[in-house]
Homo-oligomer: A and B are copies of this chain.
Amino acid sequence: MIVETKPHSLLVVGSVGLDDVETRAGKRSAVLGGAASYFSVAASFLAPPRMVAVVGTDFPAQHTALFEKHGVDLAGLERVPGETFRWSGVYSPDFVNRTTIETRLNVFSDFRPKLPAGWGASDLVFLANIDPQLQFNVLEQAGKPKFVACDTMNFWISGRRPELLRLLERVDMLLLNDEEARQLSGEANLPAAARSIRAMGPSAVIIKRGDAGALLFHEAGVFSAPAFPIENVVDPTGAGDSFAGGFMGWLARAGSTSPQSIRTAMILGSVLASFAVEDFSLDRFRTLDLSEIRERFAAFVDLVHFEKIRL
């Protein structure tokens, strides 16, 4: 059965930055990074997102051009005097540990997200990993979105807990990794952690486990999305944000946030994340096309396929 649905509009707020990154595969300086960058370009393969972010006057025009080429609506991308957000980090050879060398907020430190006219009526809102107070301010400007998802991190869980808890009362879904889920809930067991977090507000929780995939806990039960086994990982930066982009991009394209759409969205999130790690920065997305996404989606179908049996 094919139900024709109207696509949903999709808004993201988050960081756009320049990264210095070193992995076993090499080293890159001042390459495009930031959660909103990965999210937007990943989402763009499924539905064009609206970006709310800030960059400095040093932000290269080629990066803005990349966003435009992917149909990202940049009416909410402010350019202000000063330097763009910078992050630098190094991954251990086995990619298990990441050491942040330096974070310079630069123009991001005074960022007060402002939604352009009309964007308050966005159907879907993704609050990428920024200060929960800013995430809350964006929600205040949004009207009544059909679905709000947010990301967070250890830094905010410990340092901005009251603000984060206030935010969670108003979001439909929280995405976070396993360690963050344990930290937020105080529960070591992941199903118990998810249950505890769902009691804080979000009806759905996605726990990301890196190369072990992601788990969804919501009112319709549990769903396990595998990660695609990638032999040649080049740079894991942005994998989680690309997952979120593919995830929200599918919900926007499908015009649905039903439990079944959310499951399929997790697979598309995993698909986009699996491409993101195959090159530095957003480079893999530069050449990616829909036929490759289609092929990898089929590979995910095969990855978990088994015959039903009678016992």
Question: Complex: how many Å from CA A168 to CA B96?
Answer: 28
Minimal beta-carbon separation of A290 from chain B (angstroms): 6
A231 — which chain B residues lie within 8 A by C-beta? 189, 191-192, 195
For chain A, the count of residues having a C-beta within 8 Å of the partner chain is 46
Provide 25 A-B residue pairs closer than 8 Å at the C-beta atoms, listed in order of the A residue: A94-B182, A95-B189, A189-B231, A189-B233, A190-B229, A191-B229, A191-B231, A192-B231, A195-B231, A209-B212, A223-B306, A224-B226, A224-B229, A224-B304, A226-B304, A254-B309, A263-B307, A264-B306, A264-B307, A264-B309, A293-B311, A294-B311, A297-B309, A297-B311, A301-B308
Known interface pairs A191-B229, A191-B230, A213-B224; 12 further A-B residue pairs with C-beta atoms within 8 A, sorted by A's residue number: A94-B182, A95-B189, A96-B188, A190-B211, A213-B213, A221-B302, A222-B229, A223-B304, A224-B303, A260-B306, A263-B305, A297-B311
A93, A215, A254, most chain B CB atoms within 10 A: A215
Interface positions of A (Cβ within 8 A of B): 93-96, 182, 188-192, 195, 209, 211-213, 215, 221-226, 229-231, 233, 254, 260, 263-264, 266-267, 290, 293-294, 297, 301-309, 311
* 7 tightest Cβ-Cβ pairs between the two chains A and B: A94-B188, A212-B212, A224-B226, A263-B306, A191-B231, A191-B229, A304-B304
Q: How many copies does the complex hold?
A: 2
For A302, what are the chain B residues with a Cβ–Cβ distance below 8 Å?
A: 221
Please indicate the chain B residues that have their CB under 8 angstroms from the CB of A306 in the complex: 223, 225, 260, 263-264, 266-267
Complex Cα gap A191–B95 (Å): 14
State the CA gap A309–B255 with chains docked (Å): 14
